[in-house]
């Protein structure tokens, strides 16, 4: 498990990029923490820089939207989903488990 930050350091609507073998983006959606691959499957954009809209993030470059729960992409130009990662909150700290898909993900 990789420690990300204190829960208080990631307020609702915000995102943070976590360095890992493949960088991961962790989002706070109204108090719920969700994690996906940080790199857009289209080109080299950091999804943590994107715009959080409900439970999806819009890529900052060409506006493909990724569902944070399933990793699915809504429309072009990206074609492939991102991976989701399980997030664990313990004692006020957010952790991410890279490579372990979040529950409910495709």
Partner 1 sequence: MSPTVAVVGASLAGLSAARALRERSYDGRVVVVGDEVHAPYDRPPLSKDFLAGRASLDDIALGAPDDEDLALEWRLGTTAVGLDPAGRAVLLADGSEVRADGVVLATGARARRLPGSEGLAGVHVLRTLDDAVALQADLAGAGSLVVIGGGFIGAEVASTARGLGLDVTVVEALPVPLSGPLGEEMGAVVAGLHAAHGTRLLVGTGVAGLVGTGRVEAVELTDGTRLPADVVVVGIGAVPNTEWLAGSGLALGNGVLTDARGATGNPAVVAVGDCAATWSGAAERHVRTEHWTHALEQPATAVATLLGSTEPAPAPVPYFWSDQYGARIQFAGSRRTADVPRVVEGSTAEGSFLAVYERDGQPVAVLGVDQPRLFTRWRRQLRSAVPSPS
Binding site for ligand FES (CB under 6 A): 40, 42-43, 45, 59, 61-62, 64, 77-78
Size of the site for partner 1 (CB under 8 A): 16
- 23 is a site residue for partner 1 (CB under 8 A): no
Residue whose structure tokens are 């952790």: 95
> In a 10 Å sphere around its CB, with 0-12 CB exposed, 13-18 middle and 19+ buried, how is residue 86 labelled?
middle
Nearest distance from C-beta of residue 39 to partner 1, angstroms: 13
Residue-wise DSSP of 29-86:
ETTEEEEEESB-SSSS-BGGGSEEETTEEE-TTT--EEETTT--B-STT--SPPPEEE
- 98 is a site residue for partner 1 (CB under 8 A): no
Look at residue 57 and give the partner it binds from ligand FES, partner 1, none, a contact being a CB closer than 5 to 8 Å depending on partner kind: none
Name the residues that contact partner 1, by CB under 8 A.
43, 45-46, 48-51, 58, 60-63, 75-77, 79
């Amino acid at each position: 498990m990789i420690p990300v930050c204190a829960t208080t350091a990631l307020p609702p609507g915000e995102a943070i990029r976590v360095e890992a073998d493949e960088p991961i983006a962790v989002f706070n959606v109204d108090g719920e923490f969700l994690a996906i691959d940080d790199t857009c499957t289209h080109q080299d954009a950091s999804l943590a820089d994107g715009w959080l809209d409900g439970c999806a993030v819009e890529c900052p470059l060409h506006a493909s939207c990724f569902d944070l729960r399933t990793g699915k992409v809504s429309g072009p130009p990206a074609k492939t989903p991102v991976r989701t990662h399980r997030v664990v909150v313990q004692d006020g700290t957010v952790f991410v488990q890279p490579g372990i898909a979040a529950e409910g993900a495709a």
